[in-house]
Structure 1
Amino acid sequence: MAAAVVTNGTQGPPHARQSLLPDYPQLILEAIDALNEKAGSNKSTIAKHIESTHMDLPAAHTTLLSHHLNKMKQSGQIVMLKNNYMRPDPNAPPKRGRGRPRKPKAPIPPGTVVSPPRPRGRPPKDPLAPPKPKATPGSGRARGRPPKMAKTTPPADPSTAGVKRGRGRPPKV
């Protein structure tokens, strides 16, 4: 049987160490109320106030304080304005998200069958459908430059009809 050794109040079973940590959200709210600054209190003044009132803080006090301040800010327990933390105003309207709010939807009468929404993007091609013939423009002519036609002119001199000429410029006579 192993006995838990206690030295400086930090060693012992895990549940005993957990109880030594102060309740940070409660300490933060007490510090903000005690400081009672109109524009709110920043992190350093909150930390100094907690350190002055509680002597048994852990070594990672600043890290724990930052973590709990961010957590409380995300949950809405405190509000951050210009690097200062304060309690939220109970009369203030709820904070809205970014962007334009959605349009209110008309209520659907009971008994109506709702079809699933159309998927985004272009619908896929049907692999079983026959290919469509290509449409020609309204003039009836094909697009682009017409193909080159072969020359079919009869030779001017019948005596040279069978002789092929060579490439390039002919020699002077």
Structure 2
Amino acid sequence: MAEEGTTAAPPYSEMILEAIDGLNEKTGSSKAKISKYIESKHGDLPSDHAEQISDQLTKMKDAGEIVFAKNNYMRPDPNSPAKRSRGRPPKPKEPLPEGYVAPAPKPRGRPPKAKDGLSAKLAKVAEGLPKRRGRPPNKQPKKAPAPAAGAKRGRGRPPKAKPAVADAVGA
């Protein structure tokens, strides 16, 4: 609680603007200089003073009350044009004629499936069966190759045929 004789510190936004005006630097004032200026003018500050200044500077920068350039904060130039957002600016809209009623927007996404399964199947039959994806199935049964005369073939690749070797070596 504040005593009756002392005055409470003004809001941080006012103290920050006062510091920027008091420092009056051409390129703007850094966060540290603003903090030191406020500490010198207003002695009794809360323990989280540095955090509050950072938060308030961010809020003021986002709101456009101050400008952040080259790690310095300054007041915006009143003669400078407004900052444009990213991307191409929108085209100017032409006024609509009187009595024009805009059509209802198309619903987004895929239309919902029919609740009744039978009516959906009947609709599909009436529409004609859709083509299946991929290669059509082979209707003819596969014929197994005829086995060789009495010899049963084993699994895998057959062994290489060995040439006939002469029985006599050097005869």
- How far the C-alpha of 1:124 sits from its partner, in A, is 4.0
Answer whether contact 1:41 1:84 (CA < 8 A) is retained.
Answer: yes
Q: How does 1:12-161 map to 2 (within 5 A)?
A: 20-124=8-112, 130-131=123-124, 132-134=127-129, 144=136, 146-148=138-140
Answer whether contact 1:21 1:58 (CA < 8 A) is retained.
Answer: no
TM-score, normalised with respect to structure 1: 0.64
Q: Which ranges in structure 1 are unaligned for 5 or more consecutive residues? A: 1-9, 137-142, 152-166
Distance 1:38 1:146, change over 3 A: same
The whole-number CA distance in structure 2 between the counterparts of 1:148 and 1:25 is 85
Answer whether contact 1:78 1:88 (CA < 8 A) is retained.
Answer: yes
- How far the C-alpha of 1:120 sits from its partner, in A, is 2.9
Residue identity opposite 1:82 in structure 2: K
TM-score, normalised with respect to structure 2: 0.64
- How far the C-alpha of 1:106 sits from its partner, in A, is 2.3
Answer whether contact 1:79 1:86 (CA < 8 A) is retained.
Answer: yes
What percentage of residue pairs aligned between the two structures are identical? 50
Count how many residue pairs are aligned between Structure 1 and Structure 2: 137
Q: Which has the higher contact order (CA 8 A, sep 6+)?
A: 2
Residue identity opposite 2:107 in structure 1: P
Q: Which ranges in structure 2 are unaligned for 5 or more consecutive residues? A: 152-171
Distance 1:123 1:103, change over 3 A: farther
The whole-number CA distance in structure 2 between the counterparts of 1:122 and 1:107 is 33
Give the equivalent residue in structure 2 for 1:161: none
Answer whether contact 2:9 2:42 (CA < 8 A) is retained.
Answer: no
Question: 1:102 aligns to what SS in structure 2?
Answer: coil
Distance 1:149 1:71, change over 3 A: closer
